[in-house]
Amino acid sequence: MVVEKEILNKAAQAPFGQKLGIKIIKAEKGYVELELDTNQDLANHIGIVHGGVTATLCDTAMGFAAMSVGVFPVTVEMKVNYLSPGSIGDKLIAKGKVVKEGQKLIVADGEVYDGETLIAKSLGTYFIQSVQ
């Protein structure tokens, strides 16, 4: 899994993820967990975690899960169900898992938790741009 770790480490250095403060806390082949400490900069107009932040966590977790099988994926489509609000000041945990790995596409699912509460569930399709 050396190549996959190199891919994930490079992906973790992306400016957008770094700006948000997304960190990899667990990585296995086909599965990753990420964390994000929320702050007031990530709030929407009613004071909860902005849906775009939650969607970004879903996409990042699913994309990183795809990367963990040794490919460079790009998002083709993604669906997010928002189930509960995320609270500002809390640590969010995002989990991504490869559901199906094909020759050209990978399907993954994602979940975002605020503590024990599942706040979002997602499904995404990723095009395999290149293989390492």
132: confidence class by pLDDT, cuts 50, 70, 90: low
Q: Is 59 exposed, middle or buried (0-12, 13-18, 19+ CB in 10 A)?
A: buried
59 near 110, Cβ under 8 Å?
Answer: yes
Reduced to 3 states, what is the DSSP secondary structure of residue 39? coil
Q: What is the pLDDT of residue 16?
A: 84
Q: How far apart are the first and last CA of the chain?
A: 11
Distance CA 86, CA 8 (A): 26
Q: What is the pLDDT of residue 2?
A: 53
Q: What value does the mean pLDDT of the chain take?
A: 92
Of 93, 70, 76, whose CA–CA distance to 4 is shortest?
A: 70
pLDDT per position as a tens digit, 41-79: 999 999 999 999 999 999 999 999 999 999 999 999 999
130: confidence class by pLDDT, cuts 50, 70, 90: confident
Q: Which domains does the chain have, with CATH numbers?
A: 2-131 (3.10.129.10)
Q: What is the pLDDT of residue 25?
A: 92
Of 70, 61, 8, whose CA–CA distance to 31 is shortest?
A: 61
